[in-house]
Amino acid sequence: MRAATATVKEKKNLKRTCVPLLLGLLGSLLPVAGHGQQGTSFSQDPQVRAFIVDMHEQHGFDVTHLTQQFAAIRPNAIVLRAIRPPAVPEKQRSWQRYRERFVNSQRVGGGLSFWQKHAATLQRAQAIYGVPAEVIVAIIGVETVYGQNMGSFGVLEALASLAFNYPPRAEFFRGELEQFLLLARENGVSPLDIKGSYAGAIGIPQFMPSSQRRFAVDFDGDDRIDLRGSNSDAIGSVARFLQQHGWQTGAPVAVPARVNGDPAALLAMGIKPSLTVRELARDGVVAAADGDLPAALIDLVTPGAATEYWLGFDNFYVITRYNRSSFYAMSVFQLAEALRAAQSSRGDAR
């Protein structure tokens, strides 16, 4: 047994020695390629070489093949500019300006067309996952204008740029890069061929790779998950994402509120519901809602205008799991409400 154990250790040590040597040799032989970006290809970066070794040891990726793929991309300056908050904000954050981008006649009209075209699929998703059709449609409308704007960045290049050249969130994006390479291998596609957003989000619903691997579903029954080409898969995946994050069928999302006094302490508690409506009322928050419901106070600030206050319930918090912004969640909710009202009016007109 000792001899066998020693042999295993020797093999591991040999592997740890040979793989970096192979990476060094490959790095010196591979051509420097890219997509018109500045700088050296990722295959020359020591961080990337270490990452390739990890992908080989943890998931069995071929070192030569993966190195060749990283040799084809370089740090993307546009991605790195887009992810960084501006040093000096050009404009103050404004709820009304944000809302106008997503709750407007274009998104409502496009949403109604999308709803009509995919009515049966939306009805099936609602029945299985308990998420209203209008909420599914609204998320897809806010994310990509119903699939019209899915992003044109190479996802491998975008994620690598953020994983190895953006220290504030390097750990997160390295995790997403790992998940993306696993996703591409599972689907039998080259990671170099997949397009998405500058942050690496993919397809009609803009799922990050980890979310796609964990929550996406084959909803059209063709034995593959295609979030870029299948509206059915996108619809089912959005519904399942919300359901898995705790969507409560038939429960409210948010209601307007009036605040008496200073709300700073309540706002500091965050957007996860932690007090009941009744408890909030004792602190001066007035809203027409069931007193036993957990809620959080939400402020929607517009410079030069009165702040809007709302109570966000558990379903509001679930929407923020898709994008951790109260502005985003409220835009989805209000677009969904506008779509539901417009869809109802269409039905009444008939």
Active site residues: 143
| CA distance from start to end of the chain | 81
* Contacts with 275 (C-beta within 8 Å, 6 or more apart), sequence order: 266, 269, 283, 294, 295, 296
Give the start-end residues of each E strand in the chain.
153-154, 195-196, 254-259, 275-276, 285-286, 294-300, 308-312
Helix (H/G/I), strand (E/B), else coil: 257: strand
Residue with tokens 């989805």: 332
204 close to 110: Cβ distance less than 8 angstroms: no
User: How many whole angstroms separate alpha carbon 211 and alpha carbon 191?
Assistant: 17
Backbone angles phi, psi at 72, to 5 degrees: -85, -5
User: How many whole angstroms separate alpha carbon 8 and alpha carbon 174?
Assistant: 30
Backbone angles phi, psi at 294, to 5 degrees: -70, 145
User: How many whole angstroms separate alpha carbon 127 and alpha carbon 72?
Assistant: 45
Residue with tokens 């951790």: 324
User: How many whole angstroms separate alpha carbon 244 and alpha carbon 145?
Assistant: 24
Residue with tokens 């417009």: 342
* Contacts with 65 (C-beta within 8 Å, 6 or more apart), sequence order: none
